[in-house]
Amino acid sequence: MKIILFISTLLFSFNIFAGNSKITSFGNAKGKLPNIYGNKAKTFYCNCDYQKKSIKLQGCGLQLKKFKKRSKRLEWEHIVPAHAFGKSFKEWRDSKSICGAKKSKSGKIKKISGRKCASKRNKLFRYMEADIYNLVPAIGSINAIRSNYSMAEINRSQKLCSTDLKISKRKVTPPSFRKGDVARIYMYMDQEYPGRGIISKKNQGLFKKWNLEDPISAEECVIYLKKKAFQGNINKVLESHCLLK
């Protein structure tokens, strides 16, 4: 495993992989995404209307009682959570020894998180975290409760909004019209950043199934082509299909 991770990082440094090598931080990525999705659009999972950074909750059946302050706020969610690939970086795993701690404004010593340490010390992690093919508009409270949970087929769970999004026992099932989108984003990230444990053996079959059940749509291609214009690299999962459209 260590050899694979070393080779993956070495190859990236010579720019052999076609993953993100243009957008240098998550902050920069968030600044570009409104130009791609527009200031008036719908959230990824729940189809709620939003304008700029404000969510209109009427009509999308949001059921969450937690994170109320974030319910009306637009956020940009990583479909493949940063934690899913971040834990493959030594800076994430060993943040205490690599990045140490810092003093807060109140004078207390605060440990730097694995994510912050990886973002600070590892260029490849920053590019992966900023890859806009992996980012979608989401209701803030949905982003919060989704957390770093992995995808699965949940049979019984309370719906979180009218589109049948389900989250239960640290697992997530997207609505049927997003299953293919989610699968293809995972496939892209796994192809472009190999050796990072993005798709587990258990989920390989699931994503193939979702990809077939929910084929690439015209809307998905429009978003893809806009993202390609900003980030530059090709998404091989979508490219040939979207060019035919």
**Per the domain annotation, does 56 fall within a domain?**
yes
**Per the domain annotation, does 33 fall within a domain?**
yes
Predicted TM-score (pTM) of this structure: 0.90
**Per the domain annotation, does 178 fall within a domain?**
yes
Q: Under 8 Å CB-to-CB from 161, ≥6 apart: which residues?
A: 45, 46, 47, 48, 60, 61, 62, 63, 139, 142
For the chain, the farthest-separated pair of C-alpha atoms sits apart, in whole angstroms, at: 59
**Per the domain annotation, does 2 fall within a domain?**
no
Cα separation values, 37 from 107, 154, 197, 220, 228, Å = 41, 29, 29, 11, 13
β-strand partners of 138: 75
Which residue segment(s) compose the domain that 167 sits in? 17-82+133-244
**Per the domain annotation, does 206 fall within a domain?**
yes
**Per the domain annotation, does 12 fall within a domain?**
no
Q: Which two tokens stand for residue 37?
A: 């999705």
Count of domains for the chain: 1
What one-character DSSP code corresponds to residue 113? P
Q: Are 115 and 82 in contact (CB under 8 A)?
A: yes
**Per the domain annotation, does 120 fall within a domain?**
no
**Per the domain annotation, does 140 fall within a domain?**
yes
| Each residue's pLDDT expressed in tens, for the chain with a length of 245 residues | 444 444 444 444 444 456 999 999 999 999 999 999 999 999 999 999 999 999 999 989 998 888 999 999 999 999 999 999 999 999 999 999 999 887 667 767 788 999 999 999 999 999 999 999 999 999 999 999 999 999 999 988 878 999 999 999 999 999 999 999 999 999 999 999 999 999 999 999 999 999 999 999 999 999 999 999 999 999 999 999 998 85
In 3D space, the residue among 14, 11, 32 whose CA is nearest the CA of residue 131 turns out to be 32
